[in-house]
Amino acid sequence: MAKLVTIYGGAGFVGRYIARRMAKEGWRVRVAVRRPNEALHVKPYGAVGQVEPVFCNIRDDASVRAAMQGADAVINCVGVLTEKGKNSFSAVQAEGAGRIAKIATQLGVSNLVQLSAIGADDESQSEYSRSKAEGETAVLAAFPGAVILRPSVIFGTEDAFFNRFANMAAQLPFVLTLVGGNTKFQPVYVDDVARAAVAGALGEAPAGAYELGGPDVDTLKGLIEKMLVTIRRRRLVLNLPFWAGRVMATGFSAIQFLTAGLFHNGVLTKDQVKNLAVDNVVSADARGFADLGIKPTAMQVIMDDYLWVYRPNGQFEALRESAKGLRDL
């Protein structure tokens, strides 16, 4: 019988790419999510019955154990960018990660991959980054042979990075405002992260941490300016000071409080402002894609494939540009 992998959060942005690649490797794939009925898009990634979404809440031991029964490998992709209800940074990214690793050891799982983030630091001012570091510590304490992946900001068709700013540019005239515009990032393609995760699940990557960044390093402002070129829109990119970012974040959080959570602050939080003050690039001495035999994909190779929807004329923009070129001959 084919081997089985359980992917916690396997229907999310990164998880779906991992699920697809594990299915192509011939594995049975169990996608553990809170809402299996909203994860049916993963089923066509393999043959009939090869990829199956199942219910799991990583805050609950019994739920995690049930989803992991019989698994040969486990990959944890669960994370939150903003806290909501019981899904706090600590509960999900620290305690949840540790719970998965502890149960994986108890059940005799062969390989474990934990998706963390560049900037994970137990001394960080950001609670997000501290919880990522606490999760890594908990995972390695329970499962010393785990592979830890620390990607920079991840881009791809379903991303919440370039899509978010491109949508803002399409909706707002003249100006795009940023906080942390001078902070450096090293965007990494989502399928390259998936390839690294698969290497860990197959036992082809030595245990330990790997920092994953693409071939392009630029400031946040520089990245947004490149995105604007891709979507053929001219906007002034205005970098706001961090104090202004904190004021904005406080305002959005106040609205969330006053509306009793009807408005969820997914725009800008005080914790995100703290994160934006720190460069998000691969450390000079860190293991990375080269150690996994993976050549990372450049942004420009991918961005045109999904950001065209934000161009003034969408899919017809290229035709207009081509026709304009003919008129100029």
Residue 322 above 90 pLDDT?
no
**Residue written as token pair 């304490």:** 141
Which pLDDT score is estimated for 118? 97
**What is the rounded CA–CA span in Å between residue 43 and residue 9?**
14
Instruction: Provide the residue range defining the domain that includes 286.
Output: 4-156+186-217+280-297
Q: Residues 280, 119: contact at Cβ < 8 Å?
A: yes
Distance CA 241, CA 248 (A): 11
What per-residue confidence (pLDDT) applies to 320?
74
Q: How confident is the model over 138-184, as pLDDT tens digits? A: 999 999 999 999 999 999 999 999 999 999 999 988 999 999 999 99
Does residue 176 lie within any of the structural domains?
no
Residue 132 belongs to domain with CATH number:
3.40.50.720
Residue 59 has pLDDT above 60, yes or no: yes
Count structural domains, the chain. Answer: 1
Judge whether 24 lies within some domain: yes
Query: Is residue 33 a part of any domain in this protein?
Result: yes
Considering the domain boundaries, does residue 163 fall inside one? Answer: no
CA angle at 36 for the pair 33 and 41, rounded to the nearest 5°: 100
CB-based contacts of 246: which residues, under 8 Å, 6+ apart? 270, 273
Residue 52 has pLDDT above 60, yes or no: yes
**Half-sphere exposure of 128 toward its Cβ, with a 13 Å CA cutoff?**
19
* Confidence (pLDDT) at 54: 98
Predicted confidence (pLDDT) at residue 317 exceeds the cutoff of 80: no
Domain membership of residue 211 (yes or no) is yes
Please write down the HEC assignment for all residues of 50-88: CEEEEECCCCCHHHHHHHHCCCCEEEECCCCCCCECCEC
Is residue 308 domain-resident? no
Q: Is residue 109 part of a domain?
A: yes
96-100, 266-270, 282-286: range with lowest mean pLDDT: 266-270
Residue 190 belongs to a domain: yes
Tokens of 308: 């065209």
Span 288-304, average pLDDT: 96
Q: Report in angstroms the alpha-carbon separations of 194 from 15, 115, 116, 132.
A: 8, 10, 13, 19
Condensed to tens digits (0 to 9), the pLDDT of residues 84-121 reads 889 999 999 999 999 999 999 999 999 999 999 999 99
